Copies of this chain bind each other. A is one copy, B any other.
Protein backbone atom coordinates (compact mmCIF):
# COMPACT_ATOMS: atom_id res chain seq x y z
CA UNK A 1 0.00 0.00 0.00
CA UNK A 2 2.75 2.41 0.82
CA UNK A 3 5.02 1.32 -2.00
CA UNK A 4 2.85 -0.53 -4.47
CA UNK A 5 4.45 -2.29 -7.36
CA UNK A 6 4.39 -0.52 -10.66
CA UNK A 7 1.67 -2.17 -12.68
CA UNK A 8 3.21 -1.64 -16.09
CA UNK A 9 6.76 -2.34 -15.03
CA UNK A 10 8.28 0.42 -17.15
CA UNK A 11 11.64 1.26 -15.66
CA UNK A 12 11.44 4.88 -14.56
CA UNK A 13 12.89 7.59 -16.78
CA UNK A 14 13.99 11.19 -16.36
CA UNK A 15 13.06 13.03 -13.19
CA UNK A 16 13.60 12.34 -9.53
CA UNK A 17 10.10 11.20 -8.66
CA UNK A 18 9.75 8.72 -11.51
CA UNK A 19 11.35 5.88 -9.58
CA UNK A 20 8.75 6.11 -6.80
CA UNK A 21 5.48 4.25 -6.58
CA UNK A 22 2.37 5.98 -7.87
CA UNK A 23 1.21 7.08 -4.44
CA UNK A 24 4.53 8.61 -3.48
CA UNK A 25 4.85 10.24 -6.88
CA UNK A 26 1.47 11.93 -6.41
CA UNK A 27 2.46 13.03 -2.93
CA UNK A 28 5.81 14.50 -3.97
CA UNK A 29 4.27 16.31 -6.93
CA UNK A 30 1.49 17.72 -4.77
CA UNK A 31 3.97 18.96 -2.19
CA UNK A 32 5.97 20.73 -4.88
CA UNK A 33 2.95 22.33 -6.51
CA UNK A 34 1.45 23.46 -3.21
CA UNK A 35 4.73 25.10 -2.32
CA UNK A 36 4.87 26.98 -5.62
CA UNK A 37 1.24 27.78 -6.39
CA UNK A 38 -0.70 27.33 -3.17
CA UNK A 39 -3.85 25.35 -2.53
CA UNK A 40 -6.31 27.19 -4.75
CA UNK A 41 -3.82 27.56 -7.55
CA UNK A 42 -3.14 23.84 -7.77
CA UNK A 43 -5.63 21.58 -9.53
CA UNK A 44 -6.10 17.86 -9.10
CA UNK A 45 -5.80 17.35 -12.84
CA UNK A 46 -2.52 19.25 -12.92
CA UNK A 47 -1.23 17.08 -10.10
CA UNK A 48 -2.24 13.92 -11.95
CA UNK A 49 -0.65 15.15 -15.16
CA UNK A 50 2.68 16.15 -13.61
CA UNK A 51 2.86 13.06 -11.43
CA UNK A 52 2.25 10.93 -14.51
CA UNK A 53 -0.76 9.41 -12.83
CA UNK A 54 -4.43 9.50 -13.71
CA UNK A 55 -7.40 10.99 -11.94
CA UNK A 56 -8.56 7.49 -11.05
CA UNK A 57 -5.29 6.79 -9.30
CA UNK A 58 -5.38 10.04 -7.36
CA UNK A 59 -8.85 9.35 -6.02
CA UNK A 60 -7.99 5.74 -5.42
CA UNK A 61 -5.12 6.62 -3.08
CA UNK A 62 -6.72 9.73 -1.62
CA UNK A 63 -10.45 9.14 -1.41
CA UNK A 64 -10.75 12.24 0.77
CA UNK A 65 -10.07 14.31 -2.34
CA UNK A 66 -8.07 17.48 -2.58
CA UNK A 67 -8.05 18.24 1.12
CA UNK A 68 -6.75 14.84 2.20
CA UNK A 69 -4.15 14.95 -0.54
CA UNK A 70 -3.00 18.41 0.51
CA UNK A 71 -2.78 17.47 4.17
CA UNK A 72 -0.64 14.41 3.49
CA UNK A 73 1.57 16.33 1.08
CA UNK A 74 2.12 19.09 3.60
CA UNK A 75 3.14 16.55 6.23
CA UNK A 76 5.49 15.05 3.67
CA UNK A 77 7.14 18.43 3.10
CA UNK A 78 7.20 19.15 6.82
CA UNK A 79 9.11 15.99 7.67
CA UNK A 80 11.60 16.50 4.87
CA UNK A 81 12.32 20.07 5.96
CA UNK A 82 12.58 19.18 9.65
CA UNK A 83 15.07 16.44 8.90
CA UNK A 84 17.16 18.78 6.77
CA UNK A 85 17.07 21.40 9.50
CA UNK A 86 18.22 18.96 12.19
CA UNK A 87 20.99 17.67 9.94
CA UNK A 88 22.38 21.10 9.20
CA UNK A 89 22.13 22.26 12.82
CA UNK A 90 24.10 19.19 13.90
CA UNK A 91 27.09 20.04 11.71
CA UNK A 92 28.16 23.01 13.89
CA UNK A 93 28.51 22.87 17.66
CA UNK A 94 28.01 26.49 18.67
CA UNK A 95 24.26 27.24 18.49
CA UNK A 96 24.65 30.75 17.04
CA UNK A 97 27.02 29.51 14.36
CA UNK A 98 24.74 26.54 13.70
CA UNK A 99 21.74 28.78 13.05
CA UNK A 100 23.90 30.96 10.82
CA UNK A 101 24.99 27.88 8.88
CA UNK A 102 21.41 26.68 8.54
CA UNK A 103 20.14 30.01 7.24
CA UNK A 104 23.02 30.19 4.78
CA UNK A 105 22.25 26.68 3.59
CA UNK A 106 18.65 27.67 2.91
CA UNK A 107 19.83 30.79 1.12
CA UNK A 108 21.97 28.61 -1.14
CA UNK A 109 19.08 26.26 -1.81
CA UNK A 110 16.69 29.11 -2.57
CA UNK A 111 19.14 30.71 -4.98
CA UNK A 112 19.84 27.38 -6.67
CA UNK A 113 16.13 26.77 -7.22
CA UNK A 114 15.73 30.08 -9.02
CA UNK A 115 14.03 31.69 -6.00
CA UNK A 116 11.08 29.31 -5.98
CA UNK A 117 11.75 26.69 -3.30
CA UNK A 118 10.82 28.61 -0.18
CA UNK A 119 8.95 27.33 2.82
CA UNK A 120 6.95 24.23 1.92
CA UNK A 121 3.83 25.13 3.87
CA UNK A 122 3.53 28.91 4.26
CA UNK A 123 1.74 29.56 0.99
CA UNK A 124 -0.94 27.00 1.71
CA UNK A 125 -1.14 27.96 5.37
CA UNK A 126 -1.96 31.58 4.60
CA UNK A 127 -4.53 30.75 1.95
CA UNK A 128 -6.45 28.38 4.14
CA UNK A 129 -6.55 30.21 7.47
CA UNK A 130 -10.19 30.73 8.17
CA UNK A 131 -11.17 28.35 5.37
CA UNK A 132 -9.94 24.93 6.46
CA UNK A 133 -9.04 24.37 10.12
CA UNK A 134 -7.76 20.88 9.32
CA UNK A 135 -5.11 22.13 6.91
CA UNK A 136 -4.26 24.97 9.26
CA UNK A 137 -3.62 22.46 12.03
CA UNK A 138 -1.23 20.49 9.82
CA UNK A 139 0.67 23.68 9.08
CA UNK A 140 0.79 24.55 12.77
CA UNK A 141 2.24 21.12 13.50
CA UNK A 142 4.89 21.70 10.86
CA UNK A 143 5.97 25.00 12.39
CA UNK A 144 6.03 23.36 15.80
CA UNK A 145 8.29 20.55 14.60
CA UNK A 146 10.77 23.04 13.15
CA UNK A 147 10.72 25.08 16.33
CA UNK A 148 11.43 21.86 18.21
CA UNK A 149 14.47 21.16 16.06
CA UNK A 150 15.94 24.57 16.87
CA UNK A 151 14.87 24.30 20.48
CA UNK A 152 16.68 20.99 20.95
CA UNK A 153 19.84 22.49 19.50
CA UNK A 154 19.71 25.51 21.81
CA UNK A 155 19.01 23.37 24.87
CA UNK A 156 21.84 21.00 24.07
CA UNK A 157 24.12 24.01 23.80
CA UNK A 158 23.20 25.01 27.33
CA UNK A 159 20.73 27.85 26.79
CA UNK A 160 18.15 27.70 29.61
CA UNK A 161 14.37 27.92 29.51
CA UNK A 162 12.37 29.91 28.69
CA UNK A 163 15.00 31.61 26.53
CA UNK A 164 15.62 28.52 24.42
CA UNK A 165 11.93 28.08 23.61
CA UNK A 166 11.39 31.74 22.77
CA UNK A 167 14.53 31.94 20.67
CA UNK A 168 13.45 28.87 18.74
CA UNK A 169 10.16 30.55 17.92
CA UNK A 170 11.87 33.69 16.69
CA UNK A 171 14.47 31.79 14.68
CA UNK A 172 11.76 29.99 12.71
CA UNK A 173 9.71 33.18 12.32
CA UNK A 174 12.63 35.18 11.05
CA UNK A 175 13.81 32.40 8.79
CA UNK A 176 10.34 32.14 7.29
CA UNK A 177 9.92 35.86 6.88
CA UNK A 178 13.35 36.28 5.35
CA UNK A 179 12.71 33.46 2.92
CA UNK A 180 9.56 35.19 1.70
CA UNK A 181 11.36 38.50 1.28
CA UNK A 182 14.22 36.78 -0.52
CA UNK A 183 11.77 35.11 -2.90
CA UNK A 184 9.95 38.32 -3.68
CA UNK A 185 13.16 40.30 -4.19
CA UNK A 186 14.93 37.43 -5.94
CA UNK A 187 17.94 38.21 -3.75
CA UNK A 188 19.41 36.20 -0.90
CA UNK A 189 20.61 39.26 1.04
CA UNK A 190 17.58 39.28 3.38
CA UNK A 191 18.39 35.69 4.36
CA UNK A 192 22.09 36.36 4.89
CA UNK A 193 21.29 39.38 7.04
CA UNK A 194 18.72 37.39 9.01
CA UNK A 195 21.32 34.71 9.71
CA UNK A 196 23.80 37.22 11.10
CA UNK A 197 21.16 38.96 13.20
CA UNK A 198 19.87 35.68 14.63
CA UNK A 199 23.40 34.58 15.52
CA UNK A 200 24.00 37.91 17.20
CA UNK A 201 20.74 37.65 19.12
CA UNK A 202 21.50 34.13 20.31
CA UNK A 203 24.95 35.18 21.48
CA UNK A 204 23.37 37.71 23.84
CA UNK A 205 21.96 34.77 25.82
CA UNK A 206 25.02 33.33 27.53
Residues of A within 8 A of B (CB): 36-41, 114-116, 118, 122-123, 125-127, 129-131, 136, 139-140, 143, 166-167, 169-170, 172-178, 180-181, 183-185, 189-190, 193-194, 196-197, 200-201, 204
Contact = CB atoms under 8 A, between A and B. Distances in A.
B180 A178 contact: no
B201 A140 contact: no
B174 A193 contact: no
Given A126-B180, A180-B176, A37 B140 contact: no
Nearest to A136: B184
A125 B115 CA distance: 13
Contacts of A129: 36, 115-116, 118, 183-184
B169 A122 contact: no
Residue of A122, A174, A175 with most partner-chain B CB within 10 A? A174
A114 B193 CA distance: 32
A64 B36 CA distance: 25
A136 B116 CA distance: 12
A172 B180 CA distance: 11
Nearest to A167: B197
A132 to B, nearest CB: 11
B180 A125 contact: yes
Contacts of A189: 169
Nearest to A168: B193
A170 B143 contact: no
A143 B185 CA distance: 9
B181 A176 contact: yes
Contacts of A194: 169-170, 173-174
A18 to B, nearest CB: 23
Contact of A170 (B38, B167, B193): B193
A85 B115 CA distance: 28
A194 B194 CA distance: 13
Contact of A173 (B118, B167, B174, B204): B174
A90 to B, nearest CB: 23
